Structure 1
């Protein structure tokens, strides 16, 4: 028969509420009583039920993490940081893979609610009006990764997408490229895609190169979708001299399409990516990319949630992280 808090209270000659206060540290208890209660707990081998305790304390010690693609190397590296830092604060994570589908995202928000998570780290491919309603109703600390969360009135951690895309495009121009295709991760309906085009366009126009909207494509973080785009361009005889894919997986898709069509990277087409995830370093040719501080982004996301949980309001809702252009073997001067 398992030992209950009632047994501890009886043996220690105190009330059940006193035992609860000693265990939870919720209210002051004299040192003598505290010592007596702990001695009885040890003697009887009592172990508090963590679920019941969390319900009383209104703390689940859980953080929900929703991602669109668990196979992404960027996501994998980010999760390492999120889990590691969460553990240092005594929190566990509930991980949900939405596949970028709105229906799944709605379902997982409900799951987070039922599990009483104390905060959510949310990565999505596209913001929808439904997200705004759900997030407002949840009334939880939420941090978005790599996008400006102001449209949802949540915290966010990101690099400056517009400036980073400007710098990468400008680098390709310095190599002599004037026909550069941008394969972005978003579209015109959300800030992610808009910022990428803004930086790309500004770099072209400042270098007296006409911006051509037909050279902007939507890859939505997909290697397969990017492959189709590049394969089609080559087969139609419309290949650019350089491709800037706004994620490393998309850059791999572009390179695969180029090679499968009998061409070479960077001899025939230069390719650049973004994130500096592990795949950019192990793929051949090694991919020129924008280095995001992936571990730091995940760590800061967790710390922002912990701050909110503890009643501290972060100074800034959008945390802008530094980035770096990493030059490797997939780009060359023409």
Structure 2
């Protein structure tokens, strides 16, 4: 038979109310009492019931996290940061894979409502009016990560995508490149698509380089789309000396396609990515890229959400600094 809170109280020689206060991180007991209770819990192997605790503090100590692609390296890095802070704060994390284009988003919002999560982190997807209305009806805080919104009650944590790509193109230009192609993410994507294309075009304009639509090809942030886009660039923009891809996965796809065509990187063509995922360090040659600190972004989003849960105060938006990580896929032109 599983031990109960009453068994813990008897073993620690305290009241059930005191055990409850320790479990819920409330005040009103000494450090010595806390140690006795925790020792009794350990010796008995007592597992607190999250739902029962929720009846006391109106919380389940659980947060939901929604990703369009749970298996991607991008989501993995974000989730690592989210989970690290949540775990340290005694919260559990429920992860939902909403699929590309949010095909399952409404289904998972309903699931998280049924699980009575205390808050939700919404990643890499546009917070539509439909989603926002459901979240409003749930009356729980929401934080966006790697996304953005104008809803005043919903803070976000992200890099400045426009500025990050502007700086990447400036970096390539500083290396002597002027014929620079771009592999964009999904066309019309207001979060990670359009702002990055605008940064690309503005950097060209600022340096007196005319924009050529043949040098801009769209993918969907995946390895496969990067490979296909590179094939298109080699057909339509064969004079390009550098290719900037709006994600590391697409850049690695471009690298693969270049190698299949017998091109050496960076001797024959330079390639630059965006994200600084683990695979960027592992490919040959290692990928020069724009770093957005995903682990830190996840941790900050988790911290903001839990603070909102516990204080009821709306957190401020946060733009995280990006940086250029120079490895071995961009060469300097003479």
Give the shorter-chain TM-score range: 0.7 to 0.9
Equivalent in the alignment of 1:332: 331
CA contact (8 A) 1:69 1:100 kept: yes
Equivalent in the alignment of 1:66: 66
Aligned residue runs from structure 1 range 196-235, under 5 A:
196-235=196-235
- Would you say 1:23 and 2:10 are equivalent positions? no
CA contact (8 A) 1:157 1:319 kept: yes
Q: Please report how far the alpha carbon of residue 303 of structure 1 lies from its aligned counterpart in structure 2 after TM superposition.
A: 0.5
Cα 1:271–1:57, aligned 2, differ >3 Å: closer, same or farther? same
Three-state SS of the structure 2 residue aligned to 1:297 is helix
Equivalent in the alignment of 1:12: none
Equivalent in the alignment of 1:15: none
Q: Please report how far the alpha carbon of residue 215 of structure 1 lies from its aligned counterpart in structure 2 after TM superposition.
A: 2.9
Q: Please report how far the alpha carbon of residue 144 of structure 1 lies from its aligned counterpart in structure 2 after TM superposition.
A: 1.5
Q: Please report how far the alpha carbon of residue 72 of structure 1 lies from its aligned counterpart in structure 2 after TM superposition.
A: 2.0
Distance 2:103 2:66 in 1: 13
Equivalent in the alignment of 1:106: 106
TM-score (norm 2): 0.83
Distance 2:279 2:112 in 1: 31
Deviates more, 1:139-148 or 1:107-116: 139-148
Aligned residue runs from structure 1 range 1-334, under 5 A:
19-20=16-17, 23-24=20-21, 49-150=49-150, 153-236=153-236, 238=238, 240-314=240-314, 316=316, 318-334=317-333
Cα 1:68–1:28, aligned 2, differ >3 Å: closer, same or farther? closer
Structure 1 unmatched runs, 5+: 10-17
Cα 1:297–1:67, aligned 2, differ >3 Å: closer, same or farther? same
Q: Please report how far the alpha carbon of residue 280 of structure 1 lies from its aligned counterpart in structure 2 after TM superposition.
A: 0.8
CA contact (8 A) 1:183 1:245 kept: yes
After superposition, the CA RMSD in angstroms is 3.4
CA contact (8 A) 2:124 2:191 kept: no
**CA deviation profile, 1:108-164 (whole Å, cap 9, x unmatched):** 111111111111111134554433333333332222222223358521111111111
Cα 1:315–1:266, aligned 2, differ >3 Å: closer, same or farther? same
Structure 2 unmatched runs, 5+: 10-14
Cα 1:95–1:152, aligned 2, differ >3 Å: closer, same or farther? farther
Distance 2:2 2:186 in 1: 56
Distance 1:237 1:216 in 2: 9
Q: Please report how far the alpha carbon of residue 166 of structure 1 lies from its aligned counterpart in structure 2 after TM superposition.
A: 0.7
Across the two proteins, how many residue pairs are aligned to each other?
323
Three-state SS of the structure 2 residue aligned to 1:310 is helix
**CA deviation profile, 1:240-273 (whole Å, cap 9, x unmatched):** 2211111111110111111112222112221101
Equivalent in the alignment of 1:14: none
Q: Please report how far the alpha carbon of residue 206 of structure 1 lies from its aligned counterpart in structure 2 after TM superposition.
A: 0.8
Highest CA radius of gyration, 1 or 2?
1
**CA deviation profile, 1:274-300 (whole Å, cap 9, x unmatched):** 111111111111111112222211111
TM-score (norm 1): 0.83
Distance 1:327 1:30 in 2: 54
Distance 1:4 1:270 in 2: 64
